[in-house]
A = this chain, B = another copy of it.
């Protein structure tokens, strides 16, 4: 079906059970969809922008209040919306990282954290994961000592993913932040896979910054996200322009340098706002999403040869699974190769796994109903049975 002459309608989430690893937390709520329709036009939230002319001061729609609510939601002092979590990383790196500065990331850090460091001339140094692919406080402490010895000074910043994008494993954010604070290293808590799907207590964890992704985990259109800070750090990362031009003597009020002035002027922000009451509610039900996801994992584990590469028991709905010795064996001789698996899933109304993937792949069960997760669990078993794989 065509949406416009050149663009097909997208109906993945309307017609399928979507288990795409990055998409499931970003599906719009019905309220967000209504807001998107009402606020589609370019500068749609700017109708009532008055002095001092900055996005987070607008009262209608209630953008100012939303900023306060969002800060409270993650227990931080100040928040700004940004065009994706990555633009939050960029703003923090732009504030603290100078050329040649060492910056800590982890062995499982998202690539956009590396780009933020690189873009500011910093030198990333990884905290290694242990053999279970977990980042521990001990590893953080050792790496800080090692990097401090290498550079003759402490790292200037630490990017820390609560749950990483590769395994969906939980890392010891509380312990690592404690270590970092002993060395006065500001910490960015990357909540791309937490903020909006589970409760996050930024100041409780001791984080200097909490970053979330609207389109990844807050049921919002792309690109959207949030950067929250403590009052102390907010004064640094949200510093206002100090420029005064030489000929006309112009100054630019309270525009914030790292935000480039206003950030999300329309549909993206209103989408976040419209979903927010639902997001606030859904984080309280994270355990239900997790337990539904675990039923799917149990089913996969029954297929002999299948290995869950993520930590067990699962603490997140994003999971990395290894089917080299199960579904990939079928792919070896099937005329469709790995696409047999895609086809079998599709025939059962399941989408979101990379087409052809039967070796090591990721999926995310967040947002499925009990009936959908049961269906998914059964589907994996049915496909295994159909092709003669052993089931325990």
Q: Which residues of A contact B (CB under 8 A)?
A: 3-13, 20, 22-23, 25-28, 31-44, 46-47, 50, 60-62, 83-84, 86-87, 89-90, 94, 105, 107, 111-112, 114-119, 124-128, 214-216, 219-223, 241-243, 245-248, 250, 252, 255, 257-258, 260-261, 263-268, 270-271, 273-274, 277, 354
CA distance A12 to B60 in the complex (A): 13
Shortest distance between the CB of A24 and any CB in chain B (Å): 9
CA distance A7 to B274 in the complex (A): 7
B42–A252 CB distance below 8 A: no
When chains A and B are docked, how far (Å) is the Cα of A118 from the Cα of B61? Answer: 31
Q: Is the CB of A266 within 8 A of B221?
A: yes
Q: Are B7 and A223 in contact (CB under 8 A)?
A: no
Question: From A34, which residue of chain B is reached at the shortest CB distance?
Answer: B3
Given contacts A7-B61, A114-B252, A246-B125, contact A33 B43 (CB under 8 A): no
A-B contact pairs, 5 of them (CB 8 A): A4-B274, A20-B46, A22-B43, A87-B260, A111-B255
Would you call B36 and A37 a contact (CB within 8 A)?
yes
- Assembly stoichiometry (copies): 2
Q: How far is the CA of A116 from the CA of B107 in the complex (A)?
A: 32
In the complex, residue of chain B having the shortest beta-carbon distance to the beta carbon of A65? B6
Q: Which B residue's beta carbon lies closest to that of A220? A: B42
B27 with A39: CB separation less than 8 A = no
| A255 contacts across to B, CB distance below 8 A | 111, 115
Is A27 in contact with B42, judged by CB distance below 8 angstroms? Answer: yes
Q: Would B23 and A46 count as touching, CB distance under 8 A?
A: yes
Whether B112 lies near A260 (C-beta < 8 A) is: yes
**8 cross-chain pairs, A with B, having the tightest CB-CB distances, nearest first:** A26-B42, A42-B215, A222-B266, A83-B83, A222-B265, A126-B247, A221-B267, A4-B31
Query: Assuming the A-B contacts A35-B3, A248-B126, are A241 and B114 also in contact, with contact meaning beta carbons closer than 8 angstroms in the complex?
Result: yes
Asked if B247 contacts A47 (CB within 8 A), the reply is no
User: In this complex, what residue of B is CB-closest to A28?
Assistant: B40
Q: Which of B38, B221, B267 contacts A9 (CB 8 A)?
A: B38
